[in-house]
Amino acid sequence: MEINYQDIKVIGFDADDTLWVNETYFREAEAEFCRLLSKYETPNKIDQELFKIEIDNLPLYGYGVKAFTLSMVESALQLSNYNISTKTIDAILNIGKNMLEKPVELLDSVENVLKSLSKKYKLILATKGDLLDQERKLEKSGLTNYFHHIEVLSDKKEANYSNLLNHLDINPSQFLMIGNSLKSDVLPLVNIKAHAIHVPFHTTWAHEEVSEDEKNGKAYKTINSLIDLLKILE
């Protein structure tokens, strides 16, 4: 299906795993968490329990490292039948702190793409997660000046995007979202008559995966790298 982008005036970018590395650090943290809990359960069981608790906690904690750390502590308590040592709890907290102190590693060609597109389009950043952590990463990235508007959303559902576009007085038909998650960055936009381009990252959180049925008949484009945007839009 050929998609026409001639009417696009505003381009939105996801942040984590679209502009910079993020999910890789969560996978590393999960591996370390499994090592700490290895005397109580198998890695597979630990992963399953942690994921279940993360999902259960989303309505309370939202997304991000702090929510993930609280879920690790809760998982450790349950998996150990509340026999976990304070030393191990401290080690789990340090996993979270180390994640928050990770450097911001930009993905290939990010700054060149933003610099080029900002000459023709208004760019906005639309990401979800912990506000303080996302502000820290954005500042460290050196990319702030490319964005006309920055929004940290509590979630990325159709209503969240509709509210954002209404607030900024953007017609959905003139908006294009770029992101690595079909569930969060692509399908909600297509469903509100906006445009979206999928740029897959090599690692995807299970919560962000979608079924083939959810993708069927949806008009969006998939590209291998952000640099491919320039060929499509310029």
Residue in 6, 14, 16, 1 with CA at minimum distance from that of residue 189: 14
Q: Give residues with Cβ within 8 angstroms of 48, minimum separation 6.
A: none
Tally: H helices and E strands in the chain: 10, 6
Comparing 4-8, 85-89, 212-216, which segment has the lowest mean pLDDT?
212-216
CA distance linking residue 23 with residue 220, whole number of Å:
23
Structure confidence at residue 201 (pLDDT): 82
Chain centroid offset of residue 11 CA: 17
Written as one letter, the residue type at 139 is E
Structure token digits, residue 70: 């609280």
Q: Is there a contact between 131 and 152 (Cβ–Cβ < 8 Å)? A: yes
Query: What does the pLDDT read at residue 28?
Result: 96
What average pLDDT does this structure show over 78-96?
Answer: 97
pLDDT at 90 over 80: yes
Per-residue pLDDT of 162-193, as tens digits, reads 999 999 999 999 999 999 999 889 999 999 99
What whole-number distance in Å separates Cα of residue 158 and Cα of residue 191?
A: 7
Superfamily designation of domain 23-100? Putative phosphatase; domain 2 (1.10.150.240)
Dist CA 110 CA 49 (whole Å): 35
> 2 is written with which tokens?
């050929």
Q: Where in the chain is the domain with CATH 3.40.50.1000?
A: 10-20+105-233
Which backbone phi and psi does 126 adopt, to 5 degrees? -130, 100
Q: For a pLDDT cut of 90, what percent of the chain falls above it?
A: 79
d(Cα 69, Cα 159) in Å, to the nearest integer?
28
Q: How confident is residue 5, by pLDDT bands cut at 50, 70 and 90?
A: confident
Quote the pLDDT of residue 207: 52
Compute φ and ψ for 141, nearest 5 degrees.
Answer: -70, -25
Other C-beta atoms within 10 Å of 226: how many? Answer: 22
Residue 38 contacts residue 76 (beta carbons within 8 Å): no
- CATH top-level class of 10-20+105-233: alpha beta
Q: CA-to-CA distance for 92 and 35, rounded, in angstroms?
A: 11
* Separation between Cα atoms, residue 171 and residue 124, nearest integer Å: 14
User: Which residue carries 């499509």 as its tokens?
Assistant: 232
Question: pLDDT tier at 82 (50, 70, 90 boundaries)?
Answer: very high
Distances (CA, A) of 203 to 150, 155, 200, 224: 25, 20, 8, 14
pLDDT, tens digit, for every residue of 124-156?
A: 999 998 889 999 999 999 999 999 999 999 889
Band (pLDDT 50/70/90 cuts) for residue 205 is low
In the chain, which residues fall in CATH 1.10.150.240?
23-100
